[in-house]
Amino acid sequence: MTDFNVPEHTSLATLDMDITGWSQREAEQQKERVEKLEEFLGNLYAENTEQAYKGDWKHWLSWCQDQRRNPMPASAQDVLDYLLDYAESLKPSTLERRLITIGKAHKSFDYKSPTRDERVKKAFKGLIRTYGRRTKRATPLVATDMRAMIDALNDCPDDDLLAIRDKALLLIGWFGAFRQSELVAIKVEDISEHNDDEICIHIGKSKTDQSGEGHQKWLTSQKDPSYCPVLAISQWKAVAKVSSGPLLRAVGRWGHVGETSLRPQAITDSIRRVAELAGYEKSMYSGHSLRRGFCVQAALNGATLDEIMAQTHHRDISTVMRYIEEANSRRRNAVRKVEL
């Protein structure tokens, strides 16, 4: 038996997996599998999803290392033991995603997926019944919340660049029902004015459009200029002197506007900062609160499923239906017809 020393760098293929005792051929085959998986993940998924899958795969490799199991091809018993080891410490949604990662990895190499074994399926269903799905969803920012937050920004000094940028960020993100990754990717060149009261923003590659075919999102002027996304964009471009390249950029402590686009996490940071400014509990909100809030508010206002999906570009109807059901639970509730 020959030891195989894997080079130390940050590639997914070298996740510090101890393969001491493996034959040279076994070690090389395993390294090749993981390198190919890295390429597979990198090409197929959006950035955030890719990072989640990489983290899942790293966790699986680490467990296999500790348990002296072969990560791929793995057996159904391997996956069952993995589930049992983490049933109490990890959320069911996390374990579910890790099962998906393990399954996709096997499928990519034409191996039979151990996650499709009936024993694994039944064990996971039992886990759900025992521990439940503790799904944490972002609190939607509906119209009343948005007005309160924009009002807080409007009360800031006229030369507050961060407030001006955050106002544009919130209004674009809400009216456009943008994903965080889409919002930070907007460039000035992607925006076209079609008349005095509406603009079109071209979206290239996104979570549900990895091939980059693209689609358009329309923003219209509002009767009250204080809450108008079209005017907010114009104001931000003017004061920040942004004429090309990324639209939404970092603003330094001394008012310096950066050259590069924001990272997706900056959307959550901005929303929470403004939420706190408006007197809300900031931990309730995330970058998804804008998109979800638009969907709920649109449903409350009577928009149809097709109309909502025309703006959001969801591919999964069930996701949008959850938003509509949430709106209906607010609007058609018996509690609104009783009083003391």
pLDDT of 1 > 50? The answer is: no
How far apart (Å, rounded) are the C-alpha atoms in residues 223 and 7? 61
Q: What is the mean pLDDT of residues 221-230?
A: 92
Q: Mean pLDDT throughout 277-299?
A: 89
pLDDT attached to residue 163: 94
Tell the CATH topology of 12-131.
DNA polymerase; domain 1 (1.10.150)
| 217 beta partners | 201
Q: Is the pLDDT of residue 231 over 60?
A: yes
Q: Contact, 167 vs 154, CB < 8 A? A: yes
Nearest CA to 311 out of 327, 298, 328, 325 is that of 298
Q: Where are the domains of the chain?
A: 12-131, 143-335
CB atoms within 10 A of CB 175: 22
* Confidence class for position 11, pLDDT limits 50, 70, 90: very low
Q: What is the CATH number of domain 143-335?
A: 1.10.443.10
String of DSSP letters for 44-74: HS-HHHHHHHHHHHHHHHHHHHHHT--SSSP
pTM for this predicted structure: 0.62
- List pLDDT tens digits, range 160-208: 999 999 999 999 999 999 999 899 999 999 998 877 788 899 987 655 5
Cα within 13 Å of Cα(144), Cβ side: 2
